[in-house]
Chain A
Amino acid sequence: GNSVTQMEGPVTLSEEAFLTINCTYTATGYPSLFWYVQYPGEGLQLLLKATKADDKGSNKGFEATYRKETTSFHLEKGSVQVSDSAVYFCALSRFSGNTGKLIFGQGTTLQVKP
């Protein structure tokens, strides 16, 4: 079946450090891939998305490239800020049976220290 696996957290970085959060997926066909971010006490917000192989999604300095050969969608940012501290979820959407359902990874907590 379809599934998403993220690296375990928490990830603790100093401000301005480079960030990578690994995400791999298992799915048939060509799913769409997403990164969502959840700030403390809030709902999930879409961070970026990619809908086909080799697409690069980007937003707020974050990037992720849809790699079909390695079934990966790793999240990167060149220089993190304290305000990036949040929980990050990788997700895939496989349009099966018209549900458009999102399948989430378990989430990775990022803590950025000044």
Chain B
Amino acid sequence: EAQVTQNPRYLITVTGKKLTVTCSQNMNHEYMSWYRQDPGLGLRQIYYSMNVEVTDKGDVPEGYKVSRKEKRNFPLILESPSPNQTSLYFCASSSRLGTGNQPQHFGDGTRLSIL
């Protein structure tokens, strides 16, 4: 089954304690992205990757890091989490084919609470 898998689904942690949210896709997609969802703001892109070892900032990258060492994995790293990073996070992937009209496939989300 084609899917994007995120872990953990829920996490409550404290300010400053480094954490990593993993994302893995089994569709051999080139593109992967991280979004955060906040009430009234929709989803905003944090970082994206066009392929292995190629990553770049999205609209709200401050306080986040990513890496793309393998095509299937795209972890999101919060080196020193702060309360304003409390949010619902989604990983997504899509095929590189075409010119932006390929749908993105989303994981089920990770709800982070930073106290």
Contacts and interface: CB of A to CB of B under 8 A. Distances in A.
Interface of A: 4, 31-32, 34, 36, 41-46, 49, 51, 89, 93-95, 98-102, 104-107
Contact residues of B: prevailing secondary structure: strand
A35 to B, nearest CB: 11
Contact of B101 (A4, A93, A99): A93
A42 B4 CA distance: 12
Given A98-B50, A99-B50, A45 B106 contact: yes
Nearest to B43: A104
Contacts of B35: 102, 104
Interface of B: 4, 31, 33, 35, 40-45, 48, 50, 56, 58, 90, 92, 94, 96, 99-109
Given A43-B107, A99-B56, A101-B45, A94 B40 contact: no
Contacts of B58: 101
A71 B108 CA distance: 31
